Amino acid sequence: MIDFTGQVAVVTGAGRGLGRLYALDLARRGAAVVVNDLGGTMHGAGSDAAVADHVVDEIIDAGGRAVASCDSVDSPEGGQAIVDCAVATFGRLDVVISNAGIFNSIPFEQLSADDWRRMLAVHLDGGFFLSRPAYTVMRKQGYGRFVFISSSAGNFGQPMEAHYAAAKTGLVGLSNVIAIEGAAHGIASNAVLPTGFSRMVSETVRDERFLAESGFMRAIRPELVVPLVTFLASRNCPFSHRNYSACAGRYARVFVGLGDGWLAGDGAEPKAEDIEANLDAVSSTEKFIVPDSIVDEVLQVCHRRGISAMPDDAEVAFPEPGK
């Protein structure tokens, strides 16, 4: 059994839906859990402390340990308060599942600056405001696990969700850098793109017959997302810097690949017409790498060009790919 005994986890947006299920599973496996939820609507309005309190009661009634936090992730003070709650109550912080979010659907041409900023404030800013102080605690401990809840809406696109898609994909970039910088300190970071039935689905679709009769809606039980998130949050997870999708019991890696492309001749001055003439090679995905960082792209090009990434007398060299 994957065990979290002696560990402390923060789960944001843990009062309902998928977040609640993550918190319950971690607690069942021995973790002390900070159940964070402002208790607002799906669109981000209002607050209700009872939402987080109810999940805490569930955990305690089952013999676990938990504390409620109603601080909002959308400010530096809120993120710090959540981390402080974990450390003050349980003495450490091992796991952060960054799940808090809001949702609404707006056509791109009608998307206002306020709509844009509000969505990024909760998802992307919230991910940073929480992970920054949490990273400091984990670095001192020499151990930590981040799981950022991203979305296929961002990685693959979803109509009327430009603000949501941008915010969720931004979390992938945040996770990537935390993974790189945290590796030397025992900190791992990965992202999950979940598809699960929740109020985000029911309040968006609003067609009760479709929700009740659709085979897909019946297949995307939220419980099916939990195993992946729990594994990535655990000591048993041997890797970092990855993204995974969970949908209807199908679990799969999601990655950004870098194609081999077309290499212009040495000393050439390519023009737009050359790109057009070699578009098949430029666009090909048949041969690719999955870079561990931007360094891998630099090294790939240098290798193909037969050049050095750094001057021969440089004191600092690029690391080997994947190192």
Between helix 76-90 and helix 126-141 the angle, nearest 10°, is 40
Token output for 41: 């609507």
For residue 20, the model assigns a pLDDT of 97
Distance CA 65, CA 62 (A): 9
Taking residue 99's Cβ as centre, other Cβ atoms within 10 Å add up to 28
Instruction: Name the residue with tokens 């979940």.
Output: 194
- What is the set of active-site residues? 164
Query: Of residues 205 and 312, which shows the higher confidence score?
Result: 312
Residue 251 clears pLDDT 50, i.e. is over it: yes
Distance CA 99, CA 192 (A): 10
Residue 322 clears pLDDT 50, i.e. is over it: no
Backbone angles phi, psi at 320, to 5 degrees: -65, 150
The conformation of residue 264, written as its DSSP 8-state character, comes to P
For residue 46, the model assigns a pLDDT of 75
Residue 45 clears pLDDT 80, i.e. is over it: no
For residue 215, the model assigns a pLDDT of 72
- CATH number of 8-254: 3.40.190.10, 3.40.50.720, 3.40.47.10, 3.30.1330.10? 3.40.50.720
Distance set, CA 125 to CA 38, 122, 155 (Å): 16, 6, 18
Q: Can you give the length of the chain in residues?
A: 323
Residue 268 clears pLDDT 70, i.e. is over it: yes
Give the pLDDT band (50/70/90) at residue 300.
very high
Residue 203 clears pLDDT 60, i.e. is over it: no
Measuring CA to CA, which residue among 87, 81, 178, 79 is closest to residue 129?
Answer: 79
For residue 160, the model assigns a pLDDT of 94
Q: Are 318 and 295 in contact (CB under 8 A)?
A: yes
User: What is the chain's mean pLDDT, rounded?
Assistant: 91
Q: How large a percentage of the chain has pLDDT more than 90? A: 82
Q: What is the mean pLDDT of residues 189-201?
A: 80
User: pTM for the whole thing?
Assistant: 0.90
For residue 209, the model assigns a pLDDT of 66
